[in-house]
Chain A
């Protein structure tokens, strides 16, 4: 990798100014994905602005909203007492990702910003529209066992690799983003985007912006929940399919439900139709199966990943079943 410049600041405004001034600069937080990508030559920033010293690590519950600083480490978030008690689904999702070592360093913001794990993206000699727009998609017609079945485009069928983000989508989190112009807040579901014709853009963060915090409204989804990650080995592997499921049950009837999937799209995939179907219905296997079937509307395989058309609904059913059985 090139011998980039390295700067460090503990002031958010300074960090934003530095970034705004230099198109070849990028922020580095935990660096667990960025350093990896730089070693592979996938990205080559000429200036790194170390934001680890910015005051964005607090976790607090205020006015029924959990506020999580963007520089909170994945492990600190998973171990947080409020998260364990009020948002255990998020804890499970976090624990399903990466390894203990990586989670100690990887930040919440960095987790959101991580790039796809598509092998064609990582190999700079192979075609990849995400890495090099216009070069083609190696995964279409190639090894696409890990790839997307929802919201794909002719340009890209990569998936977003995060587990945490799947949990956050299910929890209807919001993202607070800062720039030199001030702050804005968007729904977490709108943070990541589909590849469309511009797969080089993973998300809707604009140049010069910084994720400063997440906000999660308090809910009653901390009793019947589950995060189920299906993968090729028992731990430390990316998802084939993952499902975040949470139910609010009253006398066996589903009063509230959240469902989101990972490993199936360019962004965490919320299963709104399935949620709507389940609301007000009995928490039965038959209803879970019907909801899972609904979730698959519009799904499309690319050969090697055709199995996900079966694995995904099965995983939904299993996650709901386990969630229901809790408590």
Chain B
């Protein structure tokens, strides 16, 4: 079917709108069985007994796996406890921990039988209280990142004007629309096929090989379509290993699809954060000192850290900066990177503080930012590969109508609503890694590109097709980009906004190579150098030519500081009586080099803004510290934004190539789309009301009481 309206449409659009796109749980395997997890109902302690008799005798049940009858996983026999070895311990580390897997012939039967498994525990005292642990000097804290000092520590304290505030954020959950899980099929001779929901087919292959100690070549990981990830599918989780174990044990294909509530405890989260920011400036608005101390939550059984204080080191021109970052191990499931990892958390605190300082100085927050915008990276003392922040400020502020903003909070009233404007900046690393791509140029006029990368939604195949199309002058509908298959040339996991840069560079190299081969062939056969490749191949009696190229990570890191930037402008309306906040206008400006795929890039920026609305206004996973359990682990009570929360969104791209980063001149943008957004909303709420909300999400109660 050919439905292309234009070359910018998604290459997998037809599959996605017709229901043909197959996600992991949708592969039909003969004899497929269904796994359902039994989870701990205590937070910490020991499993004393698991009674599976009733469950095993229930109709359709094949077996119940637990630590009592674990199939041997050679990799788990080795020393070391991290990552969590599923079914290899009787210890409970968090509430909702998977402790048994019931496998039956149907989903309904497995689900029912799972309720028949009876577990007894020896309970131990536990701690899930993040804020109290920070305040309690005796509570364990780990250094999450080495302390950083530039100039004088805590210089803000002696500044002419100073701000010192605490900013907090709750646990957020990725909750992609697709439930997590896997289909595992362990066949004869240790040949394993899995259909996975993963951001990295090669990483999943390696993880399974590592646990079961079988050669990577034995493991085929398929993950063509992934129903969203946002970071949670960057890891092969213990429950996936458990399913592979079950398949090995039962010699049948086993499918596991977790429940929505299990998405809150089994596949990571964005950790809660508690941040202190001290900011000092001269009366005329020059920043003289920044101190940023952050605490994040981690698990007792596995450690997790992220770059919460990174951007503080270089976003503003200050002689004196010091940062520190700690993690607090709690009896909770381990976090994992979530869209804009670290920076999204840090940006909320830093960008709120910047806004607070601008207000204290009675300066327009845009002018204050411009005044302290560094020409070179003040931390590394090297130039940025490219940075067009000032232009971004100008374009964005014009579009949102920044001139309508009043510096005095609470100045604009429209009936029952107060109106305010806010701005915040986002930044994320734009370096790239190593990836391989194979290109097959065929005499029928088509090009096939292959790489074991993944696509969780940004439009990887679309972007790659456009890169190749422009280099080889082939229409995009003649180009196929194959991904999500571990047998293809290796590529890193899709994360950190690096896919287009990393894999795209290899695509670029493949195309350049194919082009020169065609030129050589043309010359050898006395054809014009500009001859069409189809004619050249035919003349040479070649059905196809192929080449594989491996791109290397960027070597310019020593000379240039490479980042993507974004600036988010928002207008909010705050209801004076009810405290309801509505984001009424959004302008997001992306400074991420050359835009390769304008349509999907715009969608990514829009998506980041929507995620930002959630972070700012609605999202909060609530864990009851008395029980160690989440009380809103569902989509009705954990509020991700809905249609009605989202206004029209204007996206502006600076669209200037940065050839230092890669040959396309394109920088990543998945993270910057969200990073900083929540700060812009909080700043707008302040501008509307004069109420500074330092604790996300900004729900009506906080506005009312603020």
| Chain A residues whose C-beta falls within 8 Å of the C-beta of B644 in the assembled complex | 233-236
Question: Can you name the residue of chain B whose Cβ is closest to the Cβ of A127?
Answer: B627
Q: How large is the interface on B (under 10, 10 to 19, 20 to 34, 35 or more residues)?
A: 35 or more
Q: Which residues of chain A come closer than 8 Å to B188, judged between CB atoms?
A: none
- State whether the Cβ of A23 lies closer than 8 Å to any Cβ in chain B: no
Q: Which residue of A has the minimal Cβ distance to B40?
A: A125
Contact A119 B631 (CB under 8 A): yes
Residues 612 to 638 of chain B near chain A (Cβ within 8 Å):
617-618, 622, 624, 626-627, 629, 631-632, 634, 636-637
The answer to the question of B112 belonging to the interface, with a C-beta cut-off of 8 Å to chain A, is yes
- Listed residue (A145, A232, A235, A238) with the most chain B CB atoms within 10 angstroms of its CB: A232
Complex CA–CA separation, A237 to B637 (angstroms): 7
With A125-B41, A307-B705 as contacts: A233 and B618 at CB distance below 8 Å: yes
Q: Determine whether A41 belongs to the interface, using a CB cutoff of 8 Å to chain B.
A: yes
Chain A residues with CB under 8 Å of B622's CB are 119, 143
A318 within 8 A of B: yes
**In A244-278, which residues have CB < 8 Å from any B CB?**
none
B111 beta carbon closer than 8 Å to chain A: yes
* A215, chain B: closest CB distance, angstroms: 31
B599 within 8 A of A: no
B639 & A126 in contact (Cβ 8 Å cutoff) = no
Asked if B558 lies at the interface with its beta carbon under 8 angstroms from chain A, I say no
Q: Closest CB of chain B to A79's CB: distance in Å?
A: 19
Distance between A37 CB and nearest chain B CB, rounded to angstroms = 13
Is B642 an interface residue, CB under 8 A from the partner?
yes
Residues of B within 8 A of A314 (CB): 577-578, 704
| Interface pair B627/A1, CB less than 8 Å apart | no
* Cα-based distance from A145 to B580 in the complex (angstroms): 16
The answer, yes or no, to whether B643 is at the interface (CB within 8 Å) is yes
Interface members, chain A 122-161 (any B CB < 8 Å): 122-123, 125-126, 138, 141-143, 145
Cα(A117)–Cα(B641), bound, Å: 19
Residues B705 and A235 in contact, CB atoms below 8 Å apart: no
Contacts of B637 in A (CB 8 A): 117, 119, 238
Closest A residue by C-beta to B614? A233
A311 to B575, CA, bound (A): 11
Alpha-carbon gap, A228 to B580, bound state (A) = 12
Q: Which residue of A lies closest to B579 (CB)?
A: A311
The residues of B that contact A122 with a CB separation of less than 8 Å are 634
B627 touches A126 (CB 8 A): yes
Structural contact, A143 and B115, CB atoms closer than 8 A: no
Given A232-B699, A233-B645: A311 touches B416 (CB 8 Å cut-off): no
Residue of B nearest to A321 (CB): B416
Asked if residues A238 and B704 are in contact (CB atoms below 8 Å), the reply is: no
List of A residues within 8 angstroms of B624 by Cβ: 126, 138, 142-143
Contacts of B632 in A (CB 8 A): 119, 143
B700 touches A311 (CB 8 A): yes
CB B586 to nearest CB in A, in angstroms, measures: 15
Q: Are B700 and A233 in contact (CB under 8 A)?
A: no
Give the residue of B112, B617, B627, B700 whose beta carbon is less than 8 angstroms from that of A240.
Answer: B700
What sequence of 0s and 1s flags, for each residue 566-605 of chain B, a beta carbon within 8 Å of any chain A beta carbon? 0000000001011110100000000000000000000000
A146 to chain B, nearest CB (A): 8
B112 partner residues in chain A, CB cutoff 8 A: 1-3
User: Bound complex: CA of A291 vs CA of B363, how far in Å?
Assistant: 43
Contacts of A310 in B (CB 8 A): 704-705
Contacts of B629 in A (CB 8 A): 123, 125-126
Please tell me if the beta carbons of A120 and B639 are within 8 angstroms of each other in the complex: no
Q: Knowing A117-B636, A236-B642, say if A230 contacts B627 (CB, 8 Å).
A: no
Q: Could you tell me the dominant secondary structure of chain B's interface residues?
A: loop
B residues within 8 A CB of A232? 617-618, 639, 699-700
Decide yes or no whether A317 CB sits under 8 A from chain B. yes
Q: Is A75 an interface residue (CB 8 A)?
A: no
Contact assessment for B626 and A142 in the assembled complex, using a CB-CB cutoff below 8 Å: yes
Q: Give the residues in chain A near B580, CB-CB below 8 Å.
A: 230
Contact with A along B631-667 (1 / 0, CB 8 A): 1101011010111110000000000000000000000
A120 to B644, CA, bound (A): 28
B108 interface residue (CB < 8 Å to A): yes
A119 to B111, CA, bound (A): 21
| Least distance between A245 CB and chain B CB atoms (Å) | 13
A-side contacts of B416, CB under 8 Å: 318, 321
Nearest CB of chain B from residue A110's CB, rounded to whole Å: 16
Taking a contact as CB atoms under 8 Å apart, the answer to whether B705 and A230 are in contact is no
Which residue of chain A is the closest to B41 with respect to CB atoms? Answer: A125
A315 within 8 A of B: yes
**Is B124 part of the contact surface with A, judged by Cβ < 8 Å?**
no
Closest to B625 in A: A142
Check if A233 sits within 8 Å of B639, measured CB to CB: yes
CB distance from B60 to the nearest CB of A (A): 10
Closest to A232 in B: B639
User: How far apart are A226's CB and chain B's nearest CB, in angstroms?
Assistant: 12
Q: How far is the CB of A306 from chain B (nearest CB, A)?
A: 8
Please report the C-alpha to C-alpha distance between residue A122 and residue B705 in the assembled complex, in whole angstroms. 29
Are B627 and A317 in contact (CB-based, < 8 A)?
no
On chain A, the residues within 8 Å of B617 by CB distance are 232-233
Taken together as a complex, chains A and B put the C-alpha atoms of A237 and B638 apart, in Å, by 10
Closest Cβ of chain B: how far from A252's Cβ, in Å?
Answer: 20
Cα-based distance from A314 to B701 in the complex (angstroms): 12
Residues in B with CB closer than 8 Å to A141 are 626
Residues of A within 8 A of B41 (CB): 125
Cβ proximity bits A212-243 to B, threshold 8 Å, 1 near / 0 not: 00000000000000001010111111101000
Binary interface profile of A, 86-117, with partner B (CB < 8 Å = 1, else 0)? Answer: 00000000000000000000000000000001
Q: How far is the CB of A250 from chain B (nearest CB, A)?
A: 26
Contact with A along B403-423 (1 / 0, CB 8 A): 000000000000010000000
Closest A residue, CB atoms, query B109: A3
A62 to chain B, nearest CB (A): 37
Chain A positions 283 through 312: 1 when the CB is less than 8 Å from some CB of chain B, otherwise 0: 000000000000000000000000100110
* A96, chain B: closest CB distance, angstroms: 11
Query: In the complex, which residues 438-481 of chain B have their Cβ closer than 8 Å to any Cβ of chain A?
Result: none
Instruction: Take A41-B115, A119-B631, A143-B622 as given contacts and tell me if A237 and B577 are in contact as well, using a CB distance cutoff of 8 Å.
Output: no
- Seed contacts A143-B631, A240-B701; 9 additional CB < 8 Å A-B pairs: A3-B112, A141-B626, A142-B624, A232-B639, A235-B645, A311-B701, A314-B577, A314-B704, A318-B578
Cross-chain pairs A/B with CB under 8 angstroms, 16 sampled: A1-B111, A1-B112, A41-B115, A119-B632, A126-B624, A145-B701, A233-B639, A235-B644, A235-B645, A236-B644, A237-B636, A240-B700, A310-B704, A310-B705, A314-B704, A321-B416
